[in-house]
Amino acid sequence: MPGKLKAKIVAGRHLPVMDRASDLTDAFVEVKFGNTTFKTDVCPKSLNPQWNSEWFKFEVDDEDLQDEPLQITVLDHDTYSANDAIGKVYIDIDPLLYSEAASVISGWFPIYDTIHGIRGEINVIVKVELFNDLNRFRQSSCGVKFFCTTCIPQCYRATLVHGFVEELVVNEDPEYQWIDRIRTPRASNEARQRLISLMSGELQRKIGLKVLEMGGNAVVGYLQCFDLEGESGLVVRAIGTACTLDKLSSGSAPNTNTHMHPNTAPASNACNSPSKDGKEPVFVEDLPSSSGPPTPFRALPTSSSPPPFSPSKPCSRQSSSSDTDLSLTPKTGMGSGGSAGKEAGPLRTLLRQQTQTALEQREFPFFTLTSFPPGFLLHVGGVVSARSVKLLDRIHNPALGNTRSYKLLDWNSVTADEPETRDAWWEEIRQEIKSHARALGCHAVVGYSESTSICEEVCILSASGTAAILNPRYMREGCLDIGCTDHRFEEPSPPNCGFCHIPYDELNMPFPAQLTYCYHCRRQKVPDVLFTTIDLPSEAAVAGKGCLIQARLCRLKKKAQGEANATAISNLLPFMEYELHTQLMNKLKLRSMNALFGLHIQISVGENMLLGLASATGVYLTALPAPGGIQIAGKTPGDLSSEHISSIQKRINDTIAVNKELYQINPPKLFALDPEVFCGINMELAEEGVGSPIPEPRHRSRLFRSHSESSDELSELDLSHGKKDAFVLEIDDTDAVEDIHSLLIDAPPPTGFYSCNTENMPGISNWTSGVQMFTSVRVLRLSNANLTNQGLNKIFTDLCENLLKSFYFKLRSMIPCCLCHLNFTVAVPEEELIQVTVTAVAMTYDKEQTQEKTAEKPVNKGSLEAEEQLQFPLELCADSSSSNIQTASKISGVGESTNMSPRAASVDYGSFADRCSTWLELLRLKAHTIRRGSVKTSRRTQSLAHSVSSLERCSPLQEGRSRSLRSSRSFGGSSVTVVKMTPLSFLPGTRIIKYLGIINMFFIRETTSLREEGGVSGFLHSFIAEVFAMVRAHVAALGGNAVVSYSMKECVFMENPNKNQAQCLINVSGDAVICISETDQESSASTANTGQTGGSETDGAT
Amino acid sequence: MSVELDVFVGNTTIMDEEVYQLWLDGYTVNDAVKVRMEGGVMDECEASKDVLLSDTMDQYRTFQMCERLLHSPAKLANQLLFQIPPHRQIMLIERYYAFDDTFVREVLGKKLSKGTKKDLDDISAKTSVTLKSCRRQFDNFKRVFKVVEELKGPLVENIRQHFLLSDKLARDYAAIVFFANNRFETGKRKLQYLSFQDFAFCAGQLISNWTVGAVDNMVEDMDEHAFQTLPSLRGKTKVFIEMEGSFKNLSRGLINIAAKLTNTKDVRDFFIDLVEKFIEPCRSDRWSAADMKLYLTHYTNSAHILDTFKHQVVWDRYMGVVKSCIFKMYHD
């Protein structure tokens, strides 16, 4: 059944001059949807045309509504020659298809041209009338909501989490079609933009269908990526987590500090589980069998996992042994906790599993979410990851170059049994991940993500996640009403340490891992180090603050073609993983922390090198044992002078001490820590050499490497240097010295700054309203051809460090502030180039409160050491609001007064955006009163400044009117809605009241006059600014005032300075939202800054 | 190894006022980095020279991109490309249109033409304002002139509305436009002692009292009819003079100036006439400012005593302006 799409073209402004003779433009607009096109009249000789067109109506299938964008083209009318295009606007109408999202799209959109950039703006109104479709064979999935946010969105509660959904569509890249040789760059770019827009729409629709099939109504953690495979085509793929979400009534909105909802709500009967179709997600089916309370000491009857090498898991084996496939797939699973391997699947569960494997064949117990409602996550095993090197071949596509017909064919699953599809590749990787998780005794993978890196015809597919055990109750219907308040576990694992307890079987561990009793509850075992890809659970007990930890690595490789190249790469991968892991571990120790969250390892392939970048947020979990120090040892006593070694050792120890201070890591000394505090006490070991210097190895970390092609054996790579302790750094050659130096080179952020790459900064929660999202790109040209690995490493490390330093400097006016969600992406666009792209947000916080905390610690510490006070860490993070002000007064003398003035200044600037939106309200009011006098149409979104400019040319203004105009201007007449952007799922100080839909935009920009546009930097600078502007305009047109979970998925930059040309592709996504300032703020938070934020209480309530 | 590309783009456009000023003053990136280093920014946030260079380049690029918008400040408020908080927008505009008094003093009264623009390097050398900054300021004058030229209504108000300038700055621009339009002679050696602010004040007086309120026909608006009657005074004042000889000359001077105002070409010499005919004689007689004030007040009022004098209103209008101009101009 169709829907009706209506569009109206209102006006244009700031159009470019298209007619040199008159310095004016004769503009008209073409509105196109599908194959239907409408035109407006020509508005002659105006740079600010008023078309005020009729409503153009398109009657279309809702399937098309989901796939197609509305395409608006602004042209300059030319009587004698072809009309010149000024630019285009693509409007994704998907947000209009949900019942509760936006109802109208209306506002000013930048007119975008792929060659010239933004050229003026156009005011458009779009509406959709949708007729309900009850046809069960329908191919549209209107009404399924999509969220980029990787947690349960604010103002919703999850009644059911169904599980993993994935889909990919392929097509030929228009850039590589023969026609590209004869068409203009503009036509080629537009064809590409349009195609990707179509493919994203189609992908979203297909995922939506899968969700409906599962009985869900939303996709959370939606991650869409595209692979530009060049000659072999274009792949758009997406993964997400299907959920059933219920909208919370605005009255029961949760407070903002925990941007997750207590998931205690009763299950709605809104969705009936379509269990008959046999595609029920894993947990719904299998968890009844594990009805007994899960005990963490025994490997959970992970019914979701088939025995590792049962014939029921043929997928990865088959495809990798096929001749056409390049069988070089080192998939490495990395888990700090290690794996139980084959032993993990106890025999007793074998039978039942086999019966279920048929069901599970296509299902993956994966979740793209990174933070969860309290009680959802029971235990975390560790990071699991898999990589696979593939040779790209032309994608088998029965209908090349025509998505429409392709889609139909695909729907009939013509391609489904084609073994060479990208589907099969990913399937293989996911199976790998699944088996790694099983090896860790876990039945699920959370914080799951997938990525690729392509260079010429070689492609590295990567997937990673965190093995975990989830609370089955969230998987099943009807159980939620019991909620987490009730008899959830008999095992009384407290929420702030429970997730650290090992999920795997202690007795069956194939390696000697160092387990200790949990430092919190003393009841269950915990590993000594925990690596995860998820966010720090809000209930976790943490000491001090977190910090960004990065491992960076460059490896040269020989240039090669085809299989030889792929072999070389796959041979290098495990070494890179190993080294990155070692670096991470050492840096973690150096900061005296014991857990990593948000770990993301990216390996990027170039023609002659591989780049590896691992980012994570280090934190000190009080439930885990205190980390040991780092020992320096010479290979043989005679190797290097012991003085030299001890001087390095001293530097390291000093650094650790400084870092402890810096990150305020003063863990409560709960129990007598036998030989735990051994940081640097074993100095004499330096001379003892390799043998077995440390009595009990403190750390084990492992990296599993499976050669799926050679055998079905898991060949294991022990990351812990055999029997040696991982913390012993051996100095056997100059390289090792270099390594240690590079370890120490990471400068801590300057005072007033913290950094992390997760959603929430461990140790800071008292955000103020200052928010600054930014994107930075840096490309380095390696001029020296004969670089060593060491030299490259240094260059790469310096590049990343300098970027961070730049950020600190640029954002110094926001101090005290924290850089959150620092997302680094590396690429090797050309042989000698290294590109690093960073997107992050700087947020200000209230320093006083954190000072209270720090002041509190030393005060309490004294007493703590005497009496073992278990409760203390709980208090510390559970209710920071109650941190007493009396302690603050103790340090107030110097610290406060010196810190006051910069803070006041920065808060002032930060809260500025809030204020200006209140002004906006005020201005709108004024605009109305002004317009009453004039004959202008009074549309809500019509800007004040515009009405002003139309009055400008009027001769003598009446005194009164001109005065009122002027005064409103001097208020700062911004008529443009302020749109905040953040990569996080929340905006501090505000509450999201409505999600308006997903923003997913793809732009290409090209230039043939690079020098004139200010070189590559000028070109990219303006392009990124334009992309921001277009995102903001779309959000504002939807009625929103912020973008959350914003990310720049892709930033592909190519240049040819000799030809004076450059091209750039950018893909961004996020959730458009309306947020309002938090009015019911806790009284404790109302310290100094409420006066400043108070002025913004009504902002955004448009 | 070299940095090929380096950009930083914030959702809210980040601008450092100090760097903006350096950019406006025409510093090159490298010079600006030097100035900033000397200014001690390096100590903040442990910045290195590279960081400073990268930051300065970024900001310069941003300003260059903004410059187009600053040419029509009304656009800045409703453009979508940069998200700039309103108070920053005001700062950007105000600073962009700010000018150096020494520079404007040189071009005051000159035709804002290409010819003048070619001479800017000389002016730059003379005033030690960088050429880049001179060009910006000159282009600003020209732009403002071009826009208000075609508009009716009060000059200051028009400038303020179209360029969103502060009251003070709008008044200064009005003076510049007024001088450029009437091509007042200001460059003579005898006038060198006068600052731009002196002239701006006089221009303000002239605009508010001698023009009807539109710029496009300012000269006609200087009420020719009224001034044409003034020569008739010439004879009558003689009767009045009971003062010394110099007074006679002064009086004649003032009245001659008034008479000349009817002729467009002679209007240009208004200021030089004032100086030559009145201020210099007074100065040579070592009059104090108070003496001058006393004289002019009495001189103005004395016309009222004259029964036969029928042009009281015009006389007041003329003398009011002349009086305040002379007060302002009477200094060393």
Which positions ≥6 away from A152 have C-beta within 8 Å? A158, A220, A243, A245, A260, A261, A263, A369, A372, A373
pTM of the shown model: 0.77
Averages of pLDDT over each 10 residues, chain A, 1102 residues: 85 90 89 92 91 92 84 90 89 82 86 93 90 60 85 85 87 78 86 90 89 88 88 87 81 40 36 36 34 33 33 32 34 37 37 37 76 82 88 58 38 41 85 86 88 88 89 55 37 65 68 73 82 87 88 88 87 90 87 90 90 93 81 60 74 82 71 38 33 34 34 36 46 63 74 88 84 94 78 88 91 89 91 92 79 40 34 33 36 35 34 37 38 35 36 36 36 66 90 90 92 90 95 93 92 88 93 82 37 37 35
Residue B113 distance to chain A (closest CA, Å): 21
Residue A18 distance to chain B (closest CA, Å): 17
Identify the closest residue of chain A to B147 by CA–CA distance.
A953
Residue A225 distance to chain B (closest CA, Å): 23
| ipTM for the predicted complex | 0.85
Q: Which residues of A997-1034 are buried (b: 16+ CB within 10 A; e: fewer)?
A: bbbbbbbbbbbeebeebbbbbbbbbbbbbbbbbbbbbb
**DSSP secondary structure string for all residues of A941-1005:** TS-HHHHHHHHHTSSS--HHHHHHHHHHHHTT---SPP-EE-SSS--TTEEEEEEEEEEEEEEEE
DSSP character at residue A702: E
Query: Which residues of B are less than 8 Å from A919 in CB distance?
Result: 86
pLDDT digits (tens, 9 = 90+) for B141-165: 999 999 888 887 788 888 998 899 9
Q: In 3-state terms, what secondary structure has residue A717?
A: strand
**Chain A contact probe: residue of B3, B7, B163 with most A CBs at under 10 A:** B7
Q: Do residues B144 and B173 lie in contact, with contact meaning Cβ atoms separated by under 8 Å?
A: yes
Identify the closest residue of chain B to A796 by CA–CA distance.
B1
Of A778, A909, A965, the CB nearest to B6: A778
* CA diameter of chain A: 94
Q: Do B162 and A978 touch (CB under 8 A)?
A: no
Query: Which residues of A are less than 8 Å from B164 in CB distance?
Result: 969-970, 973
Which positions ≥6 away from A620 have C-beta within 8 Å? A542, A543, A544, A592, A593, A594, A595, A627, A663, A665, A667
Q: Do A806 and B54 touch (CB under 8 A)?
A: yes
Q: Do residues B165 and B173 lie in contact, with contact meaning Cβ atoms separated by under 8 Å?
A: yes
Q: Do A812 and B44 touch (CB under 8 A)?
A: yes
**DSSP secondary structure string for all residues of B206-253:** HHHHHS-S-STTHHHHTTHHHHHHGGGHHHHHHHH--S-HHHHHHHHH
Of A1069, A1062, A827, residue with least CA distance to A117 = A1062
**Chain A contact probe: residue of B3, B6, B61, B149 with most A CBs at under 10 A:** B6
pLDDT computed for residue A512 by the predictor: 56
What is the C-alpha to C-alpha distance for residues B257 and A590, in angstroms, rounded to an integer? 86
Gyration radius from chain B CA atoms: 25
Q: Do A1032 and B83 touch (CB under 8 A)?
A: yes
Q: Do A833 and B4 touch (CB under 8 A)?
A: yes
pLDDT computed for residue A276 by the predictor: 36
Name the amino acid, one letter, at B115: G
- CA A1012 to centroid of chain Cα atoms: 35
pLDDT computed for residue A176 by the predictor: 80
Pairing status of strand A833-845 against strand A767-781: antiparallel
pLDDT digits (tens, 9 = 90+) for B8-40: 999 999 899 999 999 999 999 999 999 998 888
Q: Do A809 and B14 touch (CB under 8 A)?
A: no
Q: Do A1029 and B80 touch (CB under 8 A)?
A: yes
Of A957, A972, A1018, the CB nearest to B89: A972
Query: Which residues of B are less than 8 Å from A973 in CB distance?
Result: 77, 86, 164
Q: Do A973 and B2 touch (CB under 8 A)?
A: no
Query: Which residues of B are less than 8 Å from A957 in CB distance?
Result: 153, 157, 161
**Chain A contact probe: residue of B1, B57, B146, B150 with most A CBs at under 10 A:** B1
Q: Do A1024 and B48 touch (CB under 8 A)?
A: no
**DSSP secondary structure string for all residues of A348-360:** HHHHHHHHHHHHH
Q: In 3-state terms, what secondary structure has residue A346?
A: coil
Q: Of A818 and B229, which is predicted with more confidence?
A: A818
Q: Do A1024 and B153 touch (CB under 8 A)?
A: no
**How many residues in chain B?**
332
Three-point CA angle B130, B132, B134, nearest 5°:
70
Identify the closest residue of chain A to B86 by CA–CA distance.
A972
Of A432, A383, A702, residue with least CA distance to A533 = A383
Q: Do A833 and B8 touch (CB under 8 A)?
A: no
Q: For A782, phi and psi rounded to 5 degrees? A: -90, 105
Joined together, the tokens standing for residue B55 give 């930051």
What is the C-alpha to C-alpha distance for residues B94 and B168, in angstroms, rounded to an integer? 10
pLDDT computed for residue A507 by the predictor: 65
What is the C-alpha to C-alpha distance for residues A973 and A971, in angstroms, rounded to an integer? 6
Residue A26 distance to chain B (closest CA, Å): 21
pLDDT computed for residue A790 by the predictor: 82
Name the amino acid, one letter, at B246: S
pLDDT computed for residue A307 by the predictor: 33
- CA A280 to centroid of chain Cα atoms: 28
Of B11, B55, B160, the CB nearest to A774: B11
Identify the closest residue of chain A to B6 by CA–CA distance.
A778
pLDDT computed for residue A543 by the predictor: 84
pLDDT computed for residue A557 by the predictor: 87
pLDDT computed for residue A390 by the predictor: 87
pLDDT computed for residue A414 by the predictor: 40
Residue B210 distance to chain A (closest CA, Å): 19
pLDDT computed for residue A731 by the predictor: 59
Query: Which residues of B are less than 8 Å from A952 in CB distance?
Result: 74, 161-162
Query: Which residues of A are less than 8 Å from B4 in CB distance?
Result: 779-781, 833, 1016
Q: How many CB pairs lie under 8 A apart between chains A and B?
A: 190
